[in-house]
Amino acid sequence: MADIITTRDLVKRFGDVVPTEVLHGLTVSFEQGALTAVIGPSGSGKTTLLNILSLLESPTSGELVIDGRDFSAGDINAYSGYRNAHVGFIFQFHYLLPEFNALENVLIPHWIGRGRPSGAFTDKALTIMREMGILSIRDKYPNQLSGGEQQRVAIARALVNEPRIVFADEPTGNLDRESGFAVLEVMTRMIRELGTTLVAVTHDREIALRADRILELVDGRICKSFRVRELGEKGARELLEDRSCRVD
């Protein structure tokens, strides 16, 4: 399939007096409809890369093309319309609004982008919640929900606009292993049904092994990039456990 995101020589620096370079000339692409897991040690640049790809931060230099459109430079505030229409976000901490119930939280992207949801759109949100097994909690508020239920609401919120791309930053990091796998299963099933591209940062290598492709960052550079199916689970696991690194 075609690539939906491509970068070339992507650089990100923070600070003016003593600049710190976090990403060092990354050239990488992400295939449309695929699930890519981004792994690496703390401080390797995973979240920074995710923030740039999702148009929450601008790169210092280099090229960023998403769905044929150049986002290499410019005010990220100018991209808010594109983000809301075509991008979904799932975070480790759910960021549900406590004053709204589960259904209302799911509908927030529509409120932001297009105003009051129609009955048809509300029915669509309810269908997504039913498929994710959370229809029964539609009227409950976040403080009445378990961690797994909150994360499923966050996933439904990310998918309700049927985005082209979903970015997830440690989406199961705040859950126990069993709940994490359950949430991941629901998330990947929904995304594959919609043909959505998923880029997920995770520290959990067991979670990463369920992706189509694994991208490992070390010190702001690409260390490894491989497709799990091509290597098989045993080969992919061995490559992950191999601490040697070929930096591109």
Of 27-31, 141-145, 208-212, the poorest mean pLDDT is in 208-212
Of 52-66, 155-169, 176-190, least confident by mean pLDDT is 176-190
Q: Which residue has the higher pLDDT, 75 or 27?
A: 27
Least confident of 34-48, 129-143, 178-192, 205-219: 178-192
Which residue is it, tokens 């290597």? Answer: 231
Residue 185 CB partners (closer than 8 Å, separation 6+): none
Give 78 or 202, the one with higher predicted confidence: 202
Task: Tell me what pLDDT residue 248 has.
Answer: 44
Q: pLDDT tens digits, residue range 127-162?
A: 989 888 899 999 999 999 988 889 889 988 988 888
Burial of 7 (0-12, 13-18, 19+ CB in 10 A): buried
Q: Which amino acid is at 63?
A: E
Instruction: Answer yes or no: is pLDDT of 222 > 50.
Output: yes
How confident is the model at residue 217, as a pLDDT? 93
- Name the E strands within the chain: 3-14, 20-31, 35-39, 61-66, 69-70, 87-91, 165-169, 197-201, 213-218, 221-227
CA 124 vs. chain centroid, Å, equals 22
Find, among 58, 56, 54, the residue nearest to 73 by Cα.
Answer: 58
- The phi and psi torsions of 194 (rounded to 5 degrees) equal -90, -10
Among candidate residues 189, 156, 192, the one with its CA nearest the CA of residue 32? 192
- Region 26-47: mean pLDDT is 92
What is the amino acid identity at position 245?
C
Query: Which is higher by pLDDT, 177 or 220?
Result: 220
Q: In what order do the strands lie in the sheet with 69-70?
A: 20-31, 3-14, 61-66, 69-70
Q: pLDDT averaged over the chain?
A: 88
3-state secondary structure of 215: strand
Domains in the chain, CATH or no CATH each:
3-241 (3.40.50.300)
Q: What predicted TM-score, i.e. pTM, was given to this entire model?
A: 0.87
